[in-house]
Amino acid sequence: MARMLNGECGTISAERRAMCSSPVEPPSTMTLPAHRLAFILLLPLALLGCEEKKEAAIAPADIAAGKAVVEAQCIGCHGSDGSGAAPGIPDLAAQDADYLVASLAAYKAGTRTHAALQDLTGDLKDADMRNVAGFFASLPPLKAAAEPGIPPVLSPYEKGEAAAQACVRCHGEAGNSTIVGIPGLAGQQPRYFVSAVRAYLDGRRSIEGKEMLREMSHVDLESVALYYASQTPARREAPAFGDPAAGEPLSARCGGCHGAHGVSHDTSTPSLASQEPNYLVKAIKAYRDQTRQHNVMLDDNTDAEIENLVAFYTVQESAAAEGAATTVMDLADKCDRCHGAGVEQPTLTVPKIAGQDRAYLIKALRAYRDGKRGSSMMHSMSLPYSEAIIESVASYYASQPAR
Ligand code: HEC
Ligand code: HEC
Ligand code: HEC
Ligand code: HEC
């Protein structure tokens, strides 16, 4: 037994090292606008019946027997008080017993993957699982991970606003550029924003002074993108060139991707409405002349057609690409519908996440987002979530008192 536990703990510390040292992975997705997220959340829970509680006609947990199993096999990592021994190991004290049984069964079945847990659960019978779950559920909640007086957790929008101060002198207040040839960033779609900055950094697009862009971490970049996405672009006057009325029919070929009036609804496709006109002309010509590469952009317009198209897009009213979920509490409101204190979900088995280990929360959310951990509900929740949002929300819940 001792030998096995050592072996297992070796696995864990390697994992922990990886978790502490690895930089944040690139996201597979960026965010959906808040209204679409809200729509997903409002889907009738009945449609998502997969995690419905089964009426259990089974023997109640034997807590003393559960404690014996835990002391023999689990306390090296989960502590006798149910507290995770290292970052990345979840706290189990006071966790929902049905949820614990379900998660142990998922490791055993291999629908949740973790080498150590799969080995350990392989030997556990159903009754053992109920007993250990009953034991951990019976423990008192751990005290809050965070000390009182720590600064409040910032949302990506708030972090992004601070980091965007470096961009104001060119891109204007709140991303409303007033300088000829410099694009506005207000209301821009966040995935497009991130990919545009990447294109400058790796040389696919050219820009002067890209050092300042290089200084941003990936999470900072996503935060800045989310901040700008949530700003409302100011309206613009028609440019001195081109004819908006002549541009409108030409824009029919663009609307399928860029939105009817240049207000994009796709996080990877830029909005064109209210954009700075000289910049737009330059950008469209850059695709045509192949100094900017892209396989989907149309590149057969004449100079005069481009000017008319740009005149049309410049005078269109634009909109913010992201809703107003500005603080981390706004973000957590969506989660608290299921995970909040005192929320009863009679048809759902919902784990407690307040006070949980931060590294574990991040790992769990990435696993749902990337489809590596089965839960139709959490997958649709976390799919739109960028690394920046996952980190903020995880920090927030980790800092809350456990219940
Ligand atoms: C080698 C260290 C180690 C040992 C020993 C260990 N665990 Fe874990 N446990 C972990 C880690 C790490 C995770 C998170 C795995 C993941 O990311 O899915 C975990 C996750 C869990 C979860 C899922 C919790 C949740 O919130 O979803 C349960 C339940 C659990 N362990 C129970 C047990 C039980 C019961 C035992 C003893 C039979 C045990 N563990 C032994 C490290 C360990
Ligand atoms: C010195 C002036 C300057 C500063 C400071 C600056 N930019 Fe820019 N930025 C530009 C110019 C000029 C372009 C257009 C380049 C081109 O023609 O592709 C641009 C383009 C962009 C684009 C692409 C917009 C689009 O619609 O494709 C993004 C995104 C961007 N900048 C982000 C930033 C961020 C974030 C910062 C602050 C960290 C920043 N910029 C600071 C001058 C600047
Ligand atoms: C098949 C979808 C599609 C169609 C059709 C399309 N675009 Fe695009 N467009 C894109 C995508 C995707 C990008 C982002 C490319 C990149 O990352 O450089 C883009 C980028 C642009 C940009 C750069 C915006 C910026 O902020 O730098 C402009 C300007 C533009 N398109 C104008 C047009 C016009 C005008 C038309 C119609 C003549 C058109 N596009 C048709 C998908 C499309
Ligand atoms: C509609 C209800 C619902 C909403 C809303 C919801 N969750 Fe969940 N969450 C669940 C369920 C059910 C599970 C258990 C899924 C499973 O068995 O893996 C879960 C599991 C989790 C877990 C894994 C916990 C553990 O111990 O392994 C985390 C972390 C989590 N949710 C965080 C969040 C966050 C952050 C949000 C808001 C962005 C959120 N959830 C919104 C229902 C919900």
Q: Whose CA is nearest to atom 5 of ligand 1?
A: 74
Domain 2-12+28-149+325-399 matches domain 156-314 at the CATH topology level? yes
The ligand 4 atom at the shortest distance from the C-alpha of residue 393 is 35
**Cα-based angle 159, 164, 166 (whole degrees, multiple of 5):** 130
Q: How far is CA 201 from CA 221, 268, 277, in A?
A: 12, 18, 24
The pLDDT of residue 3 is 33
pLDDT band at residue 325 using 50, 70 and 90 as cut-offs: low
pTM assigned to the model: 0.80
Would you state the structure tokens that stand for residue 168, as one six-digit string? 């104001």
Q: Judge whether residue 270 has pLDDT over 90.
A: yes
52, 339, 358, 393: which to mutate for ligand 4, most atoms within 8 A of CB? 339
* CA separation for the pair 328, 81 (Å, rounded): 30
Q: What is the DSSP letter of 22?
A: S
The pLDDT of residue 29 is 40
4, 5, 113, 117: which to mutate for ligand 1, most atoms within 8 A of CB? 117
Cα 360 to ligand 2 centre (Å): 36
Helix (H, G, I), strand (E, B) or coil at 127: helix
Q: Whose CA is nearest to atom 5 of ligand 3?
A: 254
Q: What is the pLDDT of residues 377-397, one digit of tens each?
A: 777 777 677 899 999 999 999
Q: What is the pLDDT of residues 98-153, one digit of tens each?
A: 999 999 999 999 989 888 899 889 889 999 999 999 999 999 999 765 555 567 78
Query: Domain-by-domain residue ranges, the chain?
Result: 2-12+28-149+325-399, 156-314
Q: Whose CA is nearest to atom 16 of ligand 1?
A: 114
Determine what percent of the chain is predicted with pLDDT higher than 70: 83
Cα 48 to ligand 1 centre (Å): 26
Q: What is the pLDDT of residues 235-256, one digit of tens each?
A: 999 999 999 999 999 999 999 9
For domain 156-314, give the CATH number. Answer: 1.10.760.10
Comparing 16 with 243, which gets the higher pLDDT? 243
Q: Judge whether residue 14 has pLDDT over 80.
A: no
The pLDDT of residue 192 is 95
The pLDDT of residue 293 is 81
Cβ 398 vs Cβ 361: under 8 Å: yes
The set of protein residues with a Cβ atom below 6 angstroms from ligand 3 is: 183, 192, 195, 253-254, 256-258, 269-270, 272, 280, 283-284, 292, 294, 296-298, 301, 309
Buried b (16+ CB within 10 A) or exposed e, 83-116: bbbbebbbbbbbbbbbbbbbbbebbbeeebebeb
CA 344 to chain centre: 25
Residues 198-207 have a mean pLDDT of: 91
Q: What is the mean pLDDT of the chain?
A: 83
Closest listed ligand to the CA of 183:
2
Q: What is the pLDDT of residues 50-89, one digit of tens each?
A: 344 444 457 789 999 999 999 999 999 999 999 999 999 9
Q: What is the pLDDT of residues 339-359, one digit of tens each?
A: 998 888 888 889 999 999 999
* CA separation for the pair 154, 399 (Å, rounded): 12
The CATH number, out of the four listed (2.40.70.10, 3.40.50.1820, 1.10.760.10, 3.30.56.10), of the domain defined by the range 2-12+28-149+325-399? 1.10.760.10
* CA separation for the pair 353, 377 (Å, rounded): 16
